[in-house]
Amino acid sequence: MAKQIAVIGLGRFGSQVARTLHQMGHNVLAIDSDPRIIEEHRGTTTYPVQADATAETVLHDLGITEYDVIVVAISTNVTANIMTTVLLLSLGVSEAQIIARANNRLHADTLRRLGIEKIVTPEEETGTRLAHTIFNQELRDYISLAPNYGVGMLRLPDHWAQKSLRELGFSGIRDRHRVVVLALRRDRNVILAPDEDERVAEGDWLLIAGTDEGLETVIQDH
């Protein structure tokens, strides 16, 4: 289901997030103060807007509180990044709706003191990976292999325990999820190309590959 997402700050990281989410079918409000950057995002995001996100009236007029998720990706100005986050909170956006980029540990600590739980640094997480995991908390370490195709680690829900991969719908390349199981991780042990009759246990992870749509199908089956 398409979500309403705002991305504030369209540097390399913010642009990756905005464009990937748009390609995934979400409605993306892309905000930056540079008109040249906004022109570059016409056609690759839903609503590219030139605006100063550190102005409360601007955020209010854009209806920012109506968005499901807001990514504060401002990178060149830490003060603007923090100020924008504070304004979002003051307008009534919940901490859980905000994902903020941090340039360093001090920046991250400041955001945490504001109550922000989801903080990313580009050194640890690419914009593409973040876009694929915003609404899929069970999917970790997503790596894009090609447009609309990737690999990720899926934490299996506890109620799947003691069922075989076959019973769960993972039965070769033509399984119902349209993904391929590359490996199963259990504690510190890894089973490569597990058999279809392998039974999973609580806490297991699957390394799966497939189309983004196929990965999404697995998530929805949770």
The 3-class SS string of the chain reads CCCEEEEECCCHHHHHHHHHHHHCCCEEEEEECCHHHHHHCECCECEEEECCCCCHHHHHHCCHHHCCEEEECCCCCHHHHHHHHHHHHHCCCCHHHEEEECCCHHHHHHHHHCCCCEEECCCCCCHHHHHHHCCCCCEEEEEEEECCEEEEEEECCHHHCCCECCCCCCCCCCCCCCEEEEEEEECCEEEECCCCCCECCCCCEEEEEEEHHHHHHHHHCC
What domain range includes position 104? 4-132
Residue 73: its pLDDT value, please?
Answer: 94
172, 195: one domain = yes
Amino acid at 161: A
Residue 176: its pLDDT value, please?
Answer: 61
15, 104: one domain = yes
Domains in the chain: how many in total? 2
23, 128: one domain = yes
71, 173: one domain = no
pLDDT, tens digit only, all 222 positions of the chain = 788 999 999 998 899 899 989 988 899 999 999 999 999 999 999 999 999 999 999 999 999 999 999 999 998 889 999 999 999 999 999 998 999 999 888 898 899 999 998 888 765 556 666 666 665 656 666 666 666 777 778 888 888 899 998 888 887 544 566 788 888 888 888 888 888 899 999 989 888 887 777 777 776 665
Residue 111: its pLDDT value, please?
Answer: 92
Residue 123: its pLDDT value, please?
Answer: 59
39, 115: one domain = yes
Q: State how far the Cα of 189 lies from the Cα of 174, in Å rounded to an integer.
A: 26
119, 51: one domain = yes
151, 123: one domain = no
Domain boundary residue among 88, 116, 132?
Answer: 132
Residue 99: its pLDDT value, please?
Answer: 92
Residue 174: its pLDDT value, please?
Answer: 47
Q: State how far the Cα of 31 lies from the Cα of 73, in Å rounded to an integer.
A: 10
Domain of 171, CATH number, reads 3.30.70.1450
Domain boundary residue among 132, 162, 183?
Answer: 132
27, 121: one domain = yes
